[in-house]
């Protein structure tokens, strides 16, 4: 079943329509501390939300954990939620992941709506039905597949984002540009979306142009998820850059390691999109070596990533730890690390493997280029 996604220019009207269609007995709105301060004021006066119970959780991916999910369940329970209630998740990917999991499991499932407020959640986390929390130091280790009743995409929230948050989301758009296929399957058509992404100035974004690009990026994910909702085949394309990227991200979480390589647990670890960008550098190199991806496109993409994302400083001494983290990836089978690689833009090659030596060579390429 295709998930309903609304590209909205009238958030209050669309949200009112969604609530009236379900007619819930109780209504709840979930935010984290940041979105409660920055984004909730944009919807606070909506008539359709006047009776909604507000649930606020701590911000940051490190708080996407058992304690937070238990707090949401407790708030729903104390608020009198039933199986006929609805929760609206308004926030970034952390909120839509955790909120979707909470709604999917409370009373064996209540209605929920996602209103993503970051570029990352607009194009990735809020769409596709993956919900979950981190556990045991690993990203999204516990969760379920369950689509929101509706996802409402409204780019008005993007003016609240920092440069880092914008770039983090844009990395997922880059991924969609690399994995997209076109109707006529011509080389020119396959490269159009990627070329526009390469030409876009993230440092001074044109939000009107970005809204159109977001809609196109979401369509790539929607098309793939509709064909393969439970990730048995084609949906694995969405993992491009993530096998290595999640290792970078988990490494940052475990070590408190920042982008500059310094260890400091008081600062945020590597943002998800940055980790995916670094993962794409490694996996583009593997794609060139193993599946014949064009080197000129690889070099252009790597140059773009270096210009806008810099590097996470790692050394050869970190390779074993990163490799060990990759062995916990959910796509692996029988202990073998499983990659999605590319033979070209849109040339998706799922269920690819690489030797430990090849993976270490990919780390070398990342550090040296």
Same domain? For 298 and 204 the reply is yes
Same domain? For 131 and 191 the reply is no
> What CA–CA distances, in Å, run from 235 to 28, 47, 113?
31, 38, 22
Provide the CA 317 distance to its chain's centre, in angstroms: 29
Given a cut of 70, the residues of the chain with pLDDT beneath it are 1-2, 125, 181-189, 256-268
Q: Which CATH number is 257's domain given?
A: 1.20.1090.10
* Structural domain total, the chain: 2
Within 10 A of 55 (CB to CB), how many other CB atoms are there? 21
Rounded to two decimals, the pTM is: 0.83
Same domain? For 156 and 168 the reply is no
Same domain? For 150 and 189 the reply is no
Q: Which CATH number is 111's domain given?
A: 3.40.50.1970
Within the chain, where are the H helices? 11-22, 33-38, 40-43, 66-78, 93-105, 119-120, 163-179, 187-199, 207-227, 242-255, 272-291, 295-309, 319-326, 356-368
Q: Would you state the pLDDT for residue 259?
A: 58
Same domain? For 241 and 147 the reply is no
Q: Would you state the pLDDT for residue 266?
A: 36
Same domain? For 34 and 149 the reply is yes
Q: Would you state the pLDDT for residue 230?
A: 82
Tokens of 24: 């819930």
Residue 352 in contact with residue 288, Cβ under 8 Å? no
Closest CA to 302 of 324, 275, 281: 281
Residue 152 DSSP SS3: strand
Same domain? For 291 and 240 the reply is yes
Range of the domain at 13: 5-160
Q: Would you state the pLDDT for residue 258?
A: 54
Q: Would you state the pLDDT for residue 184?
A: 47
Q: Give strand pairing partners of 200.
A: none
Same domain? For 135 and 37 the reply is yes
Q: Would you state the pLDDT for residue 241?
A: 97
Half-sphere exposure of 129 (CA within 13 A, CB side): 19
Same domain? For 180 and 150 the reply is no
Closest CA to 286 of 361, 194, 180, 175: 361
Same domain? For 79 and 193 the reply is no
* Structure confidence by residue, pLDDT tens digits, 77-104: 999 999 999 999 999 989 999 999 999 9
Provide the CA 114 distance to its chain's centre, in angstroms: 13
């Amino acid at each position: 079943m295709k998930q309903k996604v609304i590209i909205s220019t009238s958030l209050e009207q669309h949200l009112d329509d969604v609530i009236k269609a379900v007619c819930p007995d109780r209504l709840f709105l979930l935010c984290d501390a940041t979105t409660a301060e920055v984004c909730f004021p944009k919807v606070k006066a909506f008539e359709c939300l006047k009776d909604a119970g507000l649930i606020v959780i701590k911000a940051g991916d490190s708080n996407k954990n058992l304690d937070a999910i238990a707090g949401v369940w407790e708030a729903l329970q104390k608020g009198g939620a039933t199986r006929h209630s609805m929760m609206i998740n308004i926030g970034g990917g952390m909120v839509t992941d955790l909120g979707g999991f909470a709604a999917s499991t409370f009373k064996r499932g209540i209605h929920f709506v996602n209103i993503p407020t970051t570029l990352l959640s607009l194009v990735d986390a809020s769409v596709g039905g993956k919900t979950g929390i981190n556990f045991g130091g690993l990203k999204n280790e516990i969760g379920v597949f369950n689509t929101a009743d509706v996802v409402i995409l409204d780019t008005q929230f993007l003016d609240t984002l920092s440069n880092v948050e914008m770039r983090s989301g844009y990395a997922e758009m880059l991924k969609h540009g690399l994995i997209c296929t076109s109707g006529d399957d011509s080389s020119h058509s396959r490269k159009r979306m990627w070329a526009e992404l390469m030409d876009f100035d993230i440092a001074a974004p044109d939000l009107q142009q970005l809204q159109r690009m977001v809609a196109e990026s979401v369509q790539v994910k929607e098309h793939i998820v509709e064909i393969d909702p439970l990730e048995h085949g084609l949906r694995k394309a969405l993992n491009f850059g993530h096998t290595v990227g999640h290792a970078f991200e988990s490494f940052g979480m475990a070590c408190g390691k920042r982008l500059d390589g310094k260890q400091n647990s008081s600062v945020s670890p590597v943002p998800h999109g940055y980790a995916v960008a670094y993962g794409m550098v490694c996996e583009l190199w593997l794609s060139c070596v193993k599946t014949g991806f064009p080197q000129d496109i690889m070099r252009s993409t790597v140059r773009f990533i270096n210009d806008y994302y810099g590097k996470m400083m790692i050394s050869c001494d970190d390779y074993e730890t990163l490799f060990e983290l990759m062995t916990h990836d959910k796509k692996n089978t029988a202990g073998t690390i499983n990659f999605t690689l590319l033979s070209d833009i849109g040339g998706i090659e799922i269920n690819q493997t690489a030797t430990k030596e090849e993976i270490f060579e990919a780390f070398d390429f990342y550090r040296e280029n």
